[in-house]
Copies of this chain bind each other. A is one copy, B any other.
């Protein structure tokens, strides 16, 4: 999917919501466990109930991988089931030497046909490049994450007093363009979103941490909005586990709809 196509979807659906698909056998409604593929049945119901209110889905690969080969079957079925006008994010946080990253790119861009993958920057340019060689595909590079551990290294200041996450931004901006690189920018310290926006005015940000990890929608908009929206805001647990009973999909749909509603008003206010 291209940037233009993504923006078009945001304008049509009046939403920049991304729904995180993190299905956990211990948390999904019990009655689903009787079905042949509970993980896919859960996702299918969530997608059916939320697809009108979001522009992206983000399956977190760890939740599938831990089920062995059958988890990968469920993951593949999930990617295939997501409507083609919805942006897909393989949340995999991969990254290795070039020859290995090439294989990861094959997995996520060819086998799963995801539109994008989250990538860890620690190993530098040659670990990211193989993902950027695919047309119409995206790297979503970790810049500032939303967890407590983000404070361990991401804010280390270099001799010019610049934090590590900013050095990563500056350098990686040269590896691709705003047509194939997005950044993960956590919402827990929303003033930092403004710092990232200064360095990367044109790139889309994937913002995790709405709801369960503490971010506020208004803050994210205040600090991260650009004239193309520039934001995909993710919610996982807050939507998919809104209920663990028979009405789980209905409840997920209601939460997604209420977020879309707030986003729609913001888009109106912004004349977008």
Stretch at the interface among A69-77, A131-139, A217-225: A69-77
State whether the Cβ of A145 lies closer than 8 Å to any Cβ in chain B: yes
- Closest chain-B Cβ to A74's Cβ sits at a distance in Å of 10
Collect the chain B residues with CB atoms within 8 Å of residue A168's CB: 153
> Are the C-beta atoms of B154 and A157 separated by less than 8 Å?
no
Q: Is B156 touching A167 in the complex (CB atoms < 8 A)?
A: yes
Give the distance to chain B from A238, nearest Cβ to Cβ, in Å.
14
The residues of B that contact A24 with a CB separation of less than 8 Å are 103
Does the CB pair B167–A149 fall under 8 Å?
no
Residues of B within 8 A of A164 (CB): 153, 156, 164
A84 interface hit (Cβ, 8 Å): no
Interface residues on A, range: 35 or more
CB distance from A160 to the nearest CB of B (A): 9
Interface residues of A in 85-133 (CB under 8 A from B): 91, 93-98, 100-101, 103-104, 106-107, 110-111, 120-128
Contact, CB under 8 Å: A103 / B147: no
Most buried by B among A127, A145, A147, A168: A147
Of all A-B residue pairs in the complex, the 5 with the closest CB atoms, nearest first, are A124-B149, A124-B152, A62-B103, A69-B69, A126-B149
Q: Say how far A121's CB is from chain B's closest CB, in angstroms.
A: 7
Known contacts: A62-B101, A159-B157. The answer to whether A147 contacts B122 by CB under 8 A is no
Q: Which residue of B lies closest to A120 (CB)?
A: B120
Chain B CB within 8 A of A146 CB: yes
